[in-house]
Each structure stands twice: as C-alpha cells, then as structure tokens.
Amino acid sequence: MKTPRYTPLAAALPATVPFVGPETQERQRGAPFTARLGANENVFGPSPRAIAAMQAAAADIWMYGDPESFDLRQALAQHHGVSPANIIVGEGIDCLLGYLVRLLVGPGDAVVTSDGAYPTFNYHVAGFGGVLHKVPYVDDHEDPASLFAKAAEVDAKLVYLANPDNPMGSWHTGADIIAALDTLPDGCLLVLDEAYIECAPKGTAAPVDINDPRVIRMRTFSKIYGMAGARVGYGMGAQDLITAFNKVRNHFGMNRTAQAGALAALADNDWLVHVQTEIANARTRIADIAAANGLSALPSATNFVTIDCGRDATFAKAVLDGLIAEGIFVRMPFVAPQNRCIRISCGRPQDLDAFADALPKALHAAGS
C-alpha cells in the first residue's frame, strides 16, 4: 500500500505552488530586486511605535501569544465602536478566509467570486472541496449585482467581494454595497474583504450593522499598517459567526510580538495619516510615469496602481518580464481582460525612480 494515503480531495488538488514569492524569484535570477513593488506591501513600513513595541516584546517570545488576543480585540472593538465579541483576530486575512471557508464550505457547496479576483480565497475553496462559480468584472470593477445574482442562481453559501479590489484597485461606495445587499439571497454570507479600506476615499467602507448576520468584513495590519510579515488580520461580524471561528481556528497561531506590534500600530493615528499621504503621492507619481510612457493608470483606492498596457495579455506579460529583468518586482492580473494590465505597488521615491528608469526599457524590450 502506498503511503501517505491522502484524502481523495487532497490527491486531486494540483501539485503546483500557487504563489511564487519575490524571494524565490530572487534566488532564480541570482540577484536581489532593486525595487519590491509586486506584493502590495507597505514599503513605508510600520509605525516607529509598533517597531518599538515589537522589539520590547521580542524577549518574551518564549511565551505563546494570548490565544484570545484579548488586548488587541479590546482595542479594535473600541476603535470600531463594537464589542470584542464581534471581532476575531487571526494570522492575516488569508488565514481567516481559510477558517471561514472551513466553517461554511464542504465538498460540492457552491461559492461565488469574480473571475480574476483575489486568488487566495479560491485556493481555500478548492482545498475544502467547494465549487467556485465566477462572474466577470464589469468595467474593471467587481460587480455586486452580478455576484449576488449568481449566488441566487447557484444557491451559494458564500460570496466574496473585495472593496477596494485587488488586482484592479477599483472600488464601490459603501452605500452602494449596502443597497446591493437587498439582493443577497437568503442563506448566503457575504465576505467583504476590506484589506485596502484605509487607502480608500471616505465613504468606501460599507456601514454594515455589526450584528447583520449576512456579512463578515475582513481587515488587516498588512497594508496601511505596514506589518505584512507579522501576519495580523481580523474579521468583524455577528457574534455567533465570530464565536464559531473558535471551533476551527489555530488557537496559538498568533505570535505575541505581532500582537504587541498591532496594538501599538492601531494607537498611532499620526503614522497612519503619514502613510496615507505617502500612498497618495506614490499613486500620482505612478500615474505620471505611466502617462510619460504612453500608458494609462487606472484610478486606485489601494496602495497600488494598475497600469493598462493598452494591448493584450502577451504584451503585458512581456512588459512585466522586462521590468523583472531590470530588477523591478511587479505582478499582473491573471485573467482576461484584466491581464492587459500590470500592477505596481506604491513605493518610496527611490523605488519609483527605479521603476521610471526601467519602464521605457521594458516597453522597448516588449516590442513597443
């Protein structure tokens, strides 16, 4: 008998690695990147107060983190004007999405997302045997109306919507999302991924009633708070749903350094405003660089800018390869028609200088 004896589901999953990290690419190319602008990290870094808190907590790392993330949940509850019982803290949104799918999706259950939307969610759905149904983007936006209509058609248990969206940077107003909720079918939960919400214009966050059982919102310390490596995210929703996470979550998944850092980051609003300003400046600069090269940048409510390369996916991929050859780590959407674009994370002036220098060369090499 062959061992190990995988579950039929695990045996059927593709053996490929879904995400190739920049470190892997650096090892493959035998040189570090000059600018790291591909993973929508926050190059401006965490609050100095968060760094100090993590340094101070480092000596206590021999202890497990508080499995209830009590202090952080208290602070988040105060920040959002809700009860700590409405908040689940976990190892980034990516991990919380996995827990959520595990709670709701079994083999054969229907789930809806947009074709080309944030792929980690799809990966979890596949891992629990769910059946993904996809609707197209509309004018480079995820479309709540078609998502919810598809959910009704296939009797979906879960529907995913990122607002603002990755990879296109587009967004809907919170009011429009609340209005669309009227068409969310009974028995279907909306997971509203708000990873980039602090980068978006006022009014983008959907003012969902915290005890509305139809919606769970996901937030993260990876983007505006600049702590992607610490792995801290949280979900906000009705108390029953939040409590259910305790059935499946890794109770000792949070490390105490990350908990201390997130707590300090949340308290430093000045740094948040500073980063928002840096991001706004970088978005303008990226759009200017695109325009100077005859390309157009899509409007963005995130910490990245998606640039329309103006032709097909083959051309966009050639531009991307050219940038990587020039030492600029960037990524691009996976699916047509979004894959006519490349996606550039907001960087410091020196990162964007390097991008500005590399883009004409990449376009030339791509045959522009």
Ligand X SMILES: Cc1ncc(COP(=O)(O)O)c(C=O)c1O
Which contiguous run of DSSP H or E holds residue 295?
Answer: none
- Toward ligand X, which CB reaches closer, 42 or 86? 42
Start-to-end CA distance of the chain, whole Å, equals 57
Number of residues that bind ligand X (CB under 6 A): 13
Of the candidate residues 43, 154, 161, 162, the single one contacting ligand X (CB under 6 A): 162
Phi/psi-derived region of residue 155, left when phi > 0, alpha when psi is between -120 and 50, beta in every other case: left
- Toward ligand X, which CB reaches closer, 231 or 256? 231
Alpha carbons 283 and 301: distance in angstroms, whole number = 9
| Number of C-beta neighbours around residue 41 at 10 A | 21
* Smallest separation (angstroms) from ligand X to the CB of 242: 17
By the rule CB under 6 A, 222 interacts with ligand X: yes
Residue number closest to ligand X, CB atom = 92
In sequence order, which ranges of the chain are alpha helices (DSSP H)? Answer: 8-12, 22-29, 48-58, 70-80, 92-104, 119-127, 144-154, 174-180, 239-244, 256-267, 269-292, 313-325, 349-365
* Smallest separation (angstroms) from ligand X to the CB of 93: 4
* Smallest separation (angstroms) from ligand X to the CB of 338: 14
- Toward ligand X, which CB reaches closer, 33 or 99? 99
By the rule CB under 6 A, 92 interacts with ligand X: yes
Alpha carbons 94 and 142: distance in angstroms, whole number = 19
Of the candidate residues 42, 122, 220, 306, the single one contacting ligand X (CB under 6 A): 220
In sequence order, which ranges of 30-143 are alpha helices (DSSP H)? Answer: 48-58, 70-80, 92-104, 119-127
The span of 61-69, 92-100, 237-245, 323-331 binding ligand X (CB under 6 A) equals 92-100
By the rule CB under 6 A, 170 interacts with ligand X: no
Q: CB of 221 within 8 A of CB of 267?
A: no
DSSP per position, 28-41: HHTS--SEE-SS--
Question: SS3 helix, strand, coil % of the chain, rounded to 5?
Answer: 45, 15, 40
Of the candidate residues 42, 86, 122, 166, the single one contacting ligand X (CB under 6 A): 166
By the rule CB under 6 A, 335 interacts with ligand X: no
By the rule CB under 6 A, 94 interacts with ligand X: yes
* Distance, CA of 116 to chain centre: 13
| Contact flags string 233-252 toward ligand X, x per CB under 6 A | x-------------------
- Toward ligand X, which CB reaches closer, 162 or 254? 162
- Toward ligand X, which CB reaches closer, 86 or 222? 222
By the rule CB under 6 A, 118 interacts with ligand X: yes
The residues of the shown chain that bind ligand X, judged by CB under 6 A, are 40, 92-94, 118, 162, 166, 193, 195, 220, 222, 228, 233
